[in-house]
Structure 1
């Protein structure tokens, strides 16, 4: 059999198995097995992986490309959610389409080299920004289709029913191809009406929904109940996701079990955003500050589809970030005190397979016939990937190398170049790319 590329001696993330070769042809995975053979001198690129871990790329379910990289435009003092919303609202008055594109491109490229191959980005649509963000991110979606599959969720950050013109802009974005619609009920003067209108748009265009929801630490009431009710009423199970839900971090075990059962029964997925939630929650509390991060791994065990995601990068909501989902998984594991091998593997699952399920990606995974979307991690198993923040060192998107970052080499005294005898020198391995193709 002939191949365009063979990845030699890699380990596929999942149930323990021995090293395998993966043959790629015409942008798809054509074969998986030990020691794949190919015709001599047929031009196949062979890449030696030395037992490293393979995933089908990381899946980012919740990021804000349009308002990333604006720290220099915002003067923040309190670090609260209210301040973040207000300062970004003021800053975006000066946004242009080209400015949004340039900042979003910078952020997207970070995500690509950190191993992300699928992404859902939330884009603000309202009378202040209009459709500038939507148009800019649509351009980005087209320009970077070679490296990442990007879907756009349009939503009103600053309210809907109390913001004249916002609904009409959401409607226009949906008419012009938005992939899904979102909401932010906690900023609306009539949260239940906003939820209803978002469901109306979703039904009208037959698209999915992704809400920012219940972003505080008071568990005595939740908009989650209304979202569950509407989801079941409209038969939208499996098509609704909710992000943040930091209220769930304040629930006792019995209450969390009831909420988990409700979410699983309604078919609503949960996205937890550790960096932002940890940064913003608990402001004003002087000691024993709560973490404010919903227990995704426990909800996962209750049958809820859960993902871990980045949210914001270098803005008042999250003034840091390198778009590494491995780092987010590791941060979550620290917060959740998840240190057993099975818990660490669950964290990896929540940045790969489970978010793929949330986004209904039927062709995700390293399997014959699927797109050859493969990321190589510098480790041997899933638990180590999270525990050691394993570096993504090679990415392939639909059979084409999208990035490369060869593993670090120790330059011992007396050795001028390459690696010490007997060490794997991936940098010099046959077929290893010298650069990312342009």
Structure 2
């Protein structure tokens, strides 16, 4: 074997110790007392999981707090401030800021990423070019796919459509949307489904951001997903309006999403920061309760979204932190539901992203993390650090466990 991870615990199987053998970048064996030779890492009963999957992050506009203000802290200000700043973005600038963010993700065990990226006449394809270079330069540690979308509108912003199509031709893998900023929200959704058809691409939309749940664009997205056969290939993010619907209606909506095969990404940090700005007391959390949807068969993920910009002026790119934050916000205490928070940054995220070679199974790519804890529940509850990460069997991260230095107790 090229590498053996010895005395590991697997998600959902904390009572059993196994050894994981890796050969030629793939998981070759998962056995108790594996009889094989090779470089060995003793894990001491720590948890091994498939690497974390970031389904919704914005590399292109990360780390720009020094160029923007955030006085009101609402979404209109954030969009306006970033729109002004991005006019001066260069491919080199986007690469450098994106590099900082990617490396933070790597330090916390992320091995797969979908980055949402703005294109429009103001920025052109400069951000796209910068991020495409990141995709190439960091392929040794992470698979990054680009989802292009029109943050400031599509039908109301001439020239944006052509740029989105050009980005898809040049290597973007997913097409996105932000219909709530468009003069014709349903027209934008229609066009995005057309682009997805033309390029046989997955769809991932920013959707239903706000507190007024009287109307939801997700109904139309579900209708088109069924009409175009895009079930399992359509995702929506934010959807904060679902935090304001009563339980019976939420159950109906969950059934609609499940039956249409539309997955949902919750972005706890950004949604918590931006929502509730319309009130001066008793402010709402505005974070959609993913577990209420999971329990009705909807696939959900948790993700970071923005990092150090007016949409979210903080962030260390730890998906375990997002899982822990979500559990706190949504009053998650049951052990099974805490474990689902972990699943929403691993296996459920992988399913949303349609990753075919992902998982802790023999034959799969050895994209793994070692966590300084015994179970997925402990990892989320205690924010357990990632000690090792591997991409295709190659170690990409090592972190030493923290150690207390007790004073000498031997007075003899």
TM category (shorter chain) comes to over 0.9
CA–CA distance in 2 between the matches of 1:175 and 1:382?
40
CA–CA distance in 2 between the matches of 1:243 and 1:32?
35
Any idea what the Cα deviations from partners look like across 1:212-235, whole Å, max 9, x if unmatched? Answer: 000001010111111111111111
CA–CA distance in 2 between the matches of 1:364 and 1:378?
22
Query: What do you get for the CA RMSD once the two structures are aligned?
Result: 0.9
Name the structure 2 match of 1:409. 403
- State which of 182, 207, 212 in structure 1 corresponds to 2:206: 212
Any idea what the Cα deviations from partners look like across 1:311-342, whole Å, max 9, x if unmatched? Answer: 00000000000000000000000001001211
CA–CA distance in 2 between the matches of 1:29 and 1:89?
45
CA–CA distance in 1 between the matches of 2:78 and 2:250?
28
Any idea what the Cα deviations from partners look like across 1:138-163, whole Å, max 9, x if unmatched? Answer: 11011111100111000010000000
CA–CA distance in 2 between the matches of 1:227 and 1:341?
33
Name the structure 1 match of 2:330. 336
Name the structure 2 match of 1:23. 21
The list of structure 1 runs, each at least 4 consecutive aligned residues, that deviate by more than 2 angstroms after superposition, is 14-17
Cα contact 2:91–2:130 (8 A) shared by 1: yes
- State which of 379, 395, 398 in structure 1 corresponds to 2:392: 398
CA–CA distance in 2 between the matches of 1:64 and 1:17?
39
Name the structure 1 match of 2:249. 255
State the SS of the aligned residue for 1:228: helix
Cα contact 2:14–2:374 (8 A) shared by 1: no
TM-score of the two chains, using structure 2 as the length reference: 0.98
CA–CA distance in 1 between the matches of 2:227 and 2:364?
35
Name the structure 1 match of 2:11. 13
CA–CA distance in 2 between the matches of 1:200 and 1:53?
43
Moved more, 8-17 or 244-253: 8-17
TM-score of the two chains, using structure 1 as the length reference: 0.92
Are positions 1:388 and 2:382 aligned together?
Answer: yes
Are positions 1:53 and 2:51 aligned together?
Answer: no
Please list every run of 5 or more consecutive structure 2 residues that lacks an aligned counterpart in the other structure.
none
CA–CA distance in 1 between the matches of 2:51 and 2:170?
29
TM alignment of 1:109-124, pairs within 5 A: 109-124=103-118
CA–CA distance in 2 between the matches of 1:302 and 1:224?
16
Deviation of residue 38 (structure 1)? Answer: 2.4
State the SS of the aligned residue for 2:237: strand
Deviation of residue 284 (structure 1)? Answer: 2.8
Deviation of residue 179 (structure 1)? Answer: 0.3
State the SS of the aligned residue for 1:54: strand
Name the structure 1 match of 2:285. 291
Any idea what the Cα deviations from partners look like across 1:85-119, whole Å, max 9, x if unmatched? Answer: 00000000110000000000000000011000111
Deviation of residue 17 (structure 1)? Answer: 4.1
Deviation of residue 414 (structure 1)? Answer: 2.9
